[in-house]
């Protein structure tokens, strides 16, 4: 459900300004209002995505990005958190592979609809529509899955094996 925010001052609200707002909406000139937490000033091994930095990081054509969409109150999300942190640490030295998390209760992105928590979605360099992660949720299975689906991870592992 998209929301649009009136940008004018409420004390100057008039029939004319409401009519203009409605016309701009009908003409597709308004951008939806999306929730976003402030962008983190620093990132760790797991990149924190918020509404305002999602497009810039996830849609980067040079990066493979694996995102955990979560809710802070979700028990399954809490159980997955330490494994997700381990995965972030395990691949932190691989350039252009991003392990990220997105609090879907405090942030919104146009075109992303989450139905359950946690939802794991992979955005490879060549498919920024995203692919659902369908593997088991332990460190070794995450690595194995990335080995099959991430060209960045495959290249890094191949280079590592050659050394």
**Residue pLDDT, tens place only, 118-137:** 999 999 999 999 999 989 99
Token output for 158: 């191949």
Say if residues 66 and 125 touch (Cβ distance below 8 Å).
no
Say if residues 121 and 130 touch (Cβ distance below 8 Å).
yes
* Same domain? 152 vs 110: yes
Say if residues 84 and 101 touch (Cβ distance below 8 Å).
yes
Q: What is the mean pLDDT of the chain?
A: 92
* Same domain? 147 vs 119: yes
Mean pLDDT within 75-79: 97
Pairing of the two strands 64-70 and 97-103:
parallel
Mean pLDDT within 93-97: 96
Domain count for the chain: 2
pLDDT value for 1: 62
CB pairs under 8 A, 24+ apart, for 20-29?
none
* Same domain? 55 vs 11: no
What pTM was computed for the model? 0.84
Assign 64 to helix, strand or coil: strand
Say if residues 61 and 128 touch (Cβ distance below 8 Å).
yes
* Same domain? 52 vs 85: yes
């Amino acid at each position: 459900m998209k929301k649009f925010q009136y940008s004018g001052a409420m004390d100057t609200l008039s029939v004319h300004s409401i009519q203009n707002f409605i016309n701009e909406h009908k003409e597709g000139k308004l951008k939806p209002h999306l929730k976003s937490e402030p962008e983190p000033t620093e990132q760790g091994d797991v990149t924190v995505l918020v509404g305002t930095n999602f497009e810039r990081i996830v849609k980067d054509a040079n990066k493979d990005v694996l995102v955990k969409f979560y809710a802070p109150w979700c028990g399954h999300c809490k159980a997955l958190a330490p494994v997700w942190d381990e995965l972030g640490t395990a691949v932190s030295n691989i350039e252009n592979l991003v392990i990220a998390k997105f609090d879907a209760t405090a942030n919104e992105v146009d075109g992303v609809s989450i139905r359950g928590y946690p939802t794991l979605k992979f955005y490879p360099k060549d498919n920024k529509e995203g692919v659902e992660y369908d593997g088991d949720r332990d460190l070794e299975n995450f690595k194995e899955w990335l080995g099959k689906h991430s060209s960045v991870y495959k290249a890094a592992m191949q280079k590592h094996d050659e050394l």
